Structure formats: C-alpha cells, structure tokens
Structure 1
Amino acid sequence: MFARGLAAAALSLGMIASGIAADLDALKKKPEAPAVKEAPFFLFADTQISYRYQMDALSPGVQILQPNGTFRSREFPKNIINISHADAWAYGTNFFTLDILKSGSQAPAGTTNPPGSIAAPFFADYGNTEAYGLYRGTLSFNALTNTKAFTYAGIIKDVSLSFGFDANSQNDAFGSKKRDVVGGLNFAFDVPAGFLNLAVHAYKEWNRNGFNLQPDRDQSFDVVPEFEVVYNFPLTFTGLPLSLAGFNNIVLPKGRGVQYAGDFLFNPPRQLEFLSRTNLVLDLGKLIYDQPNRVDVFIGFQYWLNKFGNGETATFKGTEEKSFLAGFAFHIF
C-alpha cells in the first residue's frame, strides 16, 4: 500500500506539472479501492508456559511396609513444567501439551538397576523424571459440509471428527513408555458461556513394564472405548475474572497387555480408569493490569482412580490419587 500511494502521488504531480487537465472531482468520486486483507489462517491461537506444584501424588507400587505387616501408599510431591498450545482454524482445532514432571525422592529414578532389583531404587536420594505429551485434533462436520446439519439448537453446536495420541517416558524402575492413539467423535455442547466438549474414542495403548523380564516387558492392550470431557466456564457472578476449567477421562478395562498365560500372575486385568482435574483459574493480568489472557494463577484438585488401570490390592498400593495443586501460567503468544 505504501509503494502504491507513492506511485499515485508521483503520477498526479506529473499530470499537474505538464499542464494536462484533470477532473479532480471525478477522481475524488472514484477513489482507489483499498487492498483486501488476507484472513489469518488461525482464527484463534494461544500458547502458554506454566508451572504447577502437585501435593500428595501417588504411583502404583510405590508403597510403605508398615510394622503390622500391611502396606500403604507412599505420597510424594511433584514439580511440573508445562507448555501447551491451542488453536482453531477454518475446519477444526488443534491442541498440544507437554508436561515435564519431577517427583520427590520418595519416588526415585531407577532405570539403571538390573531386572529384579525392585527394592534398590527406593533407596535413591533423587526423584524420577517423566515427560508426557498429548495431541488432540478435530475436523468440524459443519465446516467440512458448509452447512449447519450437525447443529441442534440448545443442545449441540457442532460434531467433529476427533483424533490424537499420547506418548510418555519415565525413568523409574517401571520405565513406562506409553504410546496410545485415539479416534472418534467430538460433541461441542451448546452452553450459554464457555465451552463443554465430549469426545467418544476408540483407544489403543502400548506400554512397557520394567519389572518383567524380556521379552515380556513390552505390553499391547486391547482396543477399548475411551471418553474425554473438557470444559471451561466463566464465573461472572463473582465479579472477578474467574473461571472453572478442567477435564475428565474414562478408559474402560483394556485387558492384561501380555500374550502368554505364564505372565498373567504379574499382569492382572486392568480396571476401569478415571482421571479428573479441576482448576479454579484467576486471570491476574485482567484483574490488576486490565490485560486479559496474559497471566493466570490457579488452584486445583486431581482425582485418579485405578491409576494407569491398576486396581488396588492388599499388597499393591498407590492406585487411587487424591491431590491438590497450585500454579501459574504465562500466555506467550
């Protein structure tokens, strides 16, 4: 536009200098059409870095033998750094998140111990580290068909194809190496404010059990239904920039994950797994500086039943987690 303006000015000056008559009124009535701005590819995009401290975390098999001969779960803290990105484009959405989790020394690292040395890692003086990444994408049926055929007023705003994967790595004695893929439908409910989504997926998981001897460490679980509920509701009645945000995940029993009958003693059938996290989020930037979506602080609660699908027994603890958390987040762009 700047170069085009200079060219037009130069042409006008040349016409006047040469004495050529020009109908300025006519030119004023026919201004140059403004350039059309290209629409951005992303209709919405948000990337943030956050830190949260989780109290009283648990891990299956991390337990204490009590004087009376019974076992109880061993609790430990976690320090967690997260980077996440969410965006929406013409035909759908993308969401990616990566957690780096550092456990307290009560849940130590132990990958250097040989198979069978189950007790040795619990005398280490440093905690294990885990990286956990997740991606979810959607493709809107309304957008793909250029209709409102998948909108049901007052109930459903849109139905989308939903897909994604999870991947993790952890350097404790178990040595988790989770990989899973999901695919199904996502239902966006028509709520007055905020959003509420339900995804119904087929779920397939592969993992690793470091307590097993080779070649039985690699595990492949059955394809089962999985449900994900994600929500964010503004609490405008408080008069503060508060919101309630969270998710709930349900994975149905996914089998034993092993192929041979001889392994069944150490690999019992997995149970229904339920994970829930709810955060009360305060937009601190909007509250103090009138700059929304810049800095958030939050407190929350996490409940995990049958963690990783493991059911609790008299000699196997650490499968039902009830934990408070707190943290802050910076929206970087």
Structure 2
Amino acid sequence: MMVKGLFAAALSLALAGAATAADLETVRKAKAPEAAPLKEMPIFLFSDTQFSYRYQFPAAEPGIQIQRPNGSFVGRDIPKSIYNISHADAWAYGTNFFTLDILKSGSQDPAGTTNVPGGFAQYGYGATEAYGLYRGTLSLNALTGTKAFVIPGIIKDVSLAYGFDANSKNDAFGSKKRDVVGGLNFAFDVPAGFLNVAVHAYKEWNRNGFNFQPDRDVSFDTTAEIEVVYNFPLTFTGLPLSLAGFNNIVTPKGKGIRDPFNYAFYPGTGLEFLSRTNLVLDVGKLVYDQPNKVDVFIGFQYWLNKFGNVERLTFKGTEEKSFLAGVAFHIF
C-alpha cells in the first residue's frame, strides 16, 4: 500500500504537473546563447530512490484472533518490522513510482500452509509478506502541449493514471494478490506542498488457501478506487518538518467465490478504507544542512475492513489502529 515512498511518488506527480514540454523548450531557448549548441535535457526532472525501516504496533490481520473466557472473539495485536525500498521519478511527460515492502510479523501472525496432508500446518514463527506496487502517470497538459487541463487556483494538471499491486505471504491463507488500476490523477494547486487525488477503476485477483481446489484462486468484481496523497511543510515550526500521508478507498468488490453451493452463505466484501499520516523530520537538513538525505518519522495508521473483510461475531482482526516509527535513507 510504503511510507516515504508514497510521499516521494506524490512529489514526483507534483513536479511532473508543473512542467510541460512547451515549458521546457521555452527554458532551453531562454538560457542558451543563440550561437551555442543546446545542451541535452536530462531524462528525469526528479529522481529519488530510498531505503526505509519502520516498526508498526499493533497491526491486525483478518481472522487472527483470540477467544475470551466469555466465548467472544477479539482481534490479536501483531507487531511488524517492515523494510522498504522505493523509487520515484518525473520526466517530461509523466511520473513513475515503485515500492516494495517486506513485512515480518511477530509470532502472533504465524507462518503456515494448507498444502500438506491433513490440510493445515502452522509454524512457530511469524509470517513474512512481500508487497509491491507500481503507479505511473502521463500528463495531459504535456501530451497536448497546452494548458487545457489547468484550472487556475484549483487544478495544476490532470494525468492518465495506471498501475498494479502484487503480494505474496507465507501464511495459511497464502495471499497472492494481483490487481490493476487505471483512471485519472488530479494535481491540486495548493499554496505549499502538494495534494494529488487519483480516481481509478480497480480489478483484483487473489488466492484463498482455506478454499478447496479449484476455488482457491478467486477473482473479484471490478470496482472503484480513490487514492489521496499529500505532503504539507510545517514551516511555522521553524524546523524541516512536514505532514505527509495517504488515504485509499476501495469500494465493495463482491464475494470473490465461484462455488454456487456456498455463494449465498459467503460474506461479501465491504468498503475498504486505509489512512496513514506521518510527521516527518528531515534530519539531514536539520543537523548538517543536507536535505533529502535522512528522514525520521512517526505516524498513525487506520485500516477499516482490511483487504475488504467485514468484521463478524466470530471473525475479527479486520480493523487496524496502529502506531509506527521509522527512518528513511535516500540512497541515490
């Protein structure tokens, strides 16, 4: 879903929206002497690759729960260590963003498999998940060589937006999520920082290790998704602080089950809402006047109906309220 990486992606979107091909050509002609050959423009207007670590507690996972003495169920708190590498860039016609999270759960979220005789095996150590994401944009202002997609004071640019997600996890459910998105991205004209809102069509495929073959591979309905990414500098503090985060909304995507005998009894998915807000301090800028080198951050994450799962009396862990803290290194 990727803390600093998402913020870098939003920055690249903002930068791409600020410069069109016509703008670049004007700058080249204005700065170069008439008799001198023009220098080649760099491929990327902005590029950033970084590695980060964050600790998150308490995370939640759908179906990971404990039973109280009175017979009721409650979701189990799960600590996670998360390693991330991400890359964002902006070029004359758009942006690219890629991020990969490696999430290591505590033993409360055990590794396991249903691919054994008897149907289930659980191990005594925490599960590991790999989650990758790509998002790209193509600026409509840049593609048309106009300012037709500018609304002064409101919208700086409108872009074609597209991408995909993919994950794998070594628990009994055995998630193998694959999704594609496509739509429009709107870069808002804010006084400082940036605010981008993308509206996508969303299609997901996944795997449910608890289903019997051949129904383990599931396909969900095409639905709508909204992604909001922002970063606002807190200059009034006198420190290189910023408030950065994102919100994702995925509307209900159906049941994702083909078995006609169980379809009527199988619960459907609900509206999924994921929000993460971070307070980010640029330590490099603060300590040795080298901005965008080292950041530290603290934050809060809220996830309703995680992965679309809706809480029931005997099924918990679908709502996550967790704190996080970490550090990010811009490696090149």
User: 1:110: which partner in 2?
Assistant: 112
264-273 vs 215-224, greater mean Cα deviation: 264-273
Give the counterpart letter for 2:219 in structure 1.
S
User: 1:10: which partner in 2?
Assistant: none
Give the counterpart letter for 1:47 in structure 2.
T
User: 2:154: which partner in 1?
Assistant: 155
Residues 257, 267 of structure 1: 8 Å contact kept: no
User: 1:241: which partner in 2?
Assistant: 240
In the superposition, the TM-score normalised over structure 2's length comes to 0.87
1:185 has 2:187 as partner: no
User: 1:63: which partner in 2?
Assistant: 65
User: 1:223: which partner in 2?
Assistant: 222
User: 2:327: which partner in 1?
Assistant: 328
In the superposition, the TM-score normalised over structure 1's length comes to 0.87
Give the counterpart letter for 1:83 in structure 2.
I
The correspondence for 1:78, drawn from 63, 80, 84, is 80
Closer, same or farther: CA 266–132 of 1 in aligned 2, 3 Å: farther
Q: Which has the larger radius of gyration?
A: 1
User: 2:290: which partner in 1?
Assistant: 291
User: 1:268: which partner in 2?
Assistant: 267
Q: 1:32: how far off?
A: 12
User: 1:38: which partner in 2?
Assistant: 40
What CA distance in whole angstroms lies between the structure 2 residues aligned with 1:269 and 1:32? 66
User: 2:211: which partner in 1?
Assistant: 212
Residues 92, 138 of structure 1: 8 Å contact kept: yes
SS of residue paired to 2:126: coil
Deviations 1:81-105 (A, max 9, x none): 0000111000001111000000000
Give the counterpart letter for 1:289 in structure 2.
Y
Task: Give aligned pairs, total.
Answer: 300
Residues 168, 178 of structure 1: 8 Å contact kept: yes
Residue ranges of structure 1 left out of the alignment (5+ in a row): 1-30
What CA distance in whole angstroms lies between the structure 2 residues aligned with 1:69 and 1:222? 35
What CA distance in whole angstroms lies between the structure 1 residues aligned with 2:212 and 2:233? 50
Q: State the identity %.
A: 78
Deviations 1:104-162 (A, max 9, x none): 001010026538745x52xx321000000000000000000000000000100000000
SS of residue paired to 1:287: helix
What CA distance in whole angstroms lies between the structure 2 residues aligned with 1:285 and 1:209? 44
1:316 has 2:318 as partner: no
Residues 87, 98 of structure 2: 8 Å contact kept: yes
Residues 82, 100 of structure 1: 8 Å contact kept: yes
Residues 114, 210 of structure 2: 8 Å contact kept: no
What value does the CA root-mean-square deviation take over the aligned residues? 1.6
Matches within 5 A, 1:298-309: 298-309=297-308
User: 1:7: which partner in 2?
Assistant: none
Q: 1:78: how far off?
A: 0.4
Give the counterpart letter for 1:44 in structure 2.
F
Q: 1:37: how far off?
A: 2.1
Residues 114, 209 of structure 2: 8 Å contact kept: no
Residues 156, 190 of structure 1: 8 Å contact kept: yes
SS of residue paired to 1:126: strand
SS of residue paired to 1:96: strand
What CA distance in whole angstroms lies between the structure 1 residues aligned with 2:219 and 2:293? 42
SS of residue paired to 1:40: coil
SS of residue paired to 2:236: helix
Q: 1:265: how far off?
A: 6.0
Whose relative contact order is higher, 1 or 2, with alpha carbons under 8 Å and at least 6 apart? Answer: 2
User: 1:203: which partner in 2?
Assistant: 202
What CA distance in whole angstroms lies between the structure 1 residues aligned with 2:49 and 2:127? 27
What CA distance in whole angstroms lies between the structure 2 residues aligned with 1:165 and 1:266? 31
Closer, same or farther: CA 108–143 of 1 in aligned 2, 3 Å: same
User: 2:97: which partner in 1?
Assistant: 95
Q: 1:239: how far off?
A: 0.4
What CA distance in whole angstroms lies between the structure 1 residues aligned with 2:74 and 2:117? 24
User: 1:15: which partner in 2?
Assistant: none
Closer, same or farther: CA 102–191 of 1 in aligned 2, 3 Å: same
260-269 vs 158-167, greater mean Cα deviation: 260-269
Closer, same or farther: CA 117–56 of 1 in aligned 2, 3 Å: farther
Deviations 1:39-66 (A, max 9, x none): 1000000000000000011100000011
Give the counterpart letter for 1:134 in structure 2.
L
Q: 1:69: how far off?
A: 1.0
Q: 1:258: how far off?
A: 1.3
SS of residue paired to 2:124: coil
Residue ranges of structure 2 left out of the alignment (5+ in a row): 1-32
User: 2:279: which partner in 1?
Assistant: 280
Q: 1:259: how far off?
A: 1.9
Residues 175, 206 of structure 2: 8 Å contact kept: yes
